[in-house]
Amino acid sequence: MKLLVKSPLLAKLPASVILHHLKSGCFSAEQYAKGSVVFMEGECCDTLKIIVSGSLAADSIDEHGNFLTVSAFDFGCGVGGNLIFLDEPIFPLTIMAAEDCVLLSIGRETLFSLLCEYPDFLRQYLRFTGMHAYRLNDKIKAYTKRSIRENVLLFLERERQVQQSSKIKLRTSKKAMAEQLGIQRSSLSRELAKMRADGLIDFDAGSITILGGDPVLNRQGSVPQGR
């Protein structure tokens, strides 16, 4: 119960309402082990699932059977909120548990009643679904319109500005970095190797060093762009 009321979305509901719906079965807690499928691509969305603990990932599967993480969800996020009230609420991607997680499931009619009765809950729900749509759209545009090298260079430049250093300490694994950029881990490794061969960067297990100034400026001119 303590985790539920800390959720940014559920915090907009009275604690007594949450407790009542738990006891009545209108809210149900579900556990998923790491790697479990929560929603399969093409499945109908008839519930909102709010992450109480753990995290989820929206994955696309390519023709070779490789998974590409398109979007990630962590504590407090609601999955299915942008689909549940559509005429054809079909998941376009597979949603999987990125780690062991607990989800709170709310059916469509229960959710609709709560949105009608509690304006603050409605406002937060609209905010969450809008933010998710914006981030997903931004990621898709970045993935489809820019080369792998351009995405890596922009990532490095953002980190250089934040860390105020040309030697960028990686705050996540290269696998997580690849997921953030919307590419495969192997594709990132190949591009980093090409960029090192071109004299743009050097790197080790925990850091990437930018060589020769602003990495974004190096996109212009004769530097080859890898895909």
**48 against 63, higher pLDDT:** 48
Q: What is the predicted pLDDT for the residue at 155?
A: 82
Q: What is the dihedral of CA 97, 99, 104, 106, to 10 degrees?
A: -10
Domain 2-144 top-level CATH class: mainly beta
Q: How do residues 138-175 score in pLDDT, each as one tens digit?
A: 665 655 567 888 888 888 887 888 788 899 998 778 88
What was the pLDDT predicted at 174?
A: 83
Q: Which of 29-33, 117-121, 173-177 has the lowest average pLDDT? A: 173-177
For residue 214, pLDDT over 70 is answered with no
Check whether 101 has a pLDDT greater than 90.
yes
Give the model's pLDDT for residue 140.
59
Q: What is the pLDDT of residues 187-200, one digit of tens each?
A: 899 999 999 999 99
Under DSSP, is residue 44 helix (H, G, I), strand (E, B) or coil?
strand
Higher pLDDT, 67 or 87: 87
Q: What's the predicted TM-score (pTM) here? A: 0.60
Find the mean pLDDT for residues 27-31. 94
Looking at residues 37-59, what average pLDDT do you find?
Answer: 90
Sequence spans of domains, the chain: 2-144, 147-219
Distances (CA, A) of 157 to 164, 202, 215: 10, 14, 6
- What is the share, in percent, of the chain residues with pLDDT greater than 70? 82
Integer Cα distance of 14 and 21 in angstroms: 11
Select the more confidently predicted residue: 54 or 223.
54
| Domain pair 2-144 / 147-219, same fold | no
Question: Considering the chain, what percentage of its residues have pLDDT values greater than 90?
Answer: 45
Mean pLDDT of 64-78: 72
Domain 147-219, CATH number (from 1.10.10.10, 3.50.50.60, 3.40.50.300, 3.90.1150.10): 1.10.10.10
Q: What is the SS3 assignment for 50-64?
A: EEEECCEEEEEECCC
pLDDT given at position 203:
93
The mean pLDDT value for 79-86 works out to: 92
- Please tell me the distance from the alpha carbon of residue 44 to that of residue 25, in angstroms, as a whole number: 21
Closest CA to 201 of 176, 175, 223: 223
Round the average pLDDT of the chain to a whole number and report it.
83
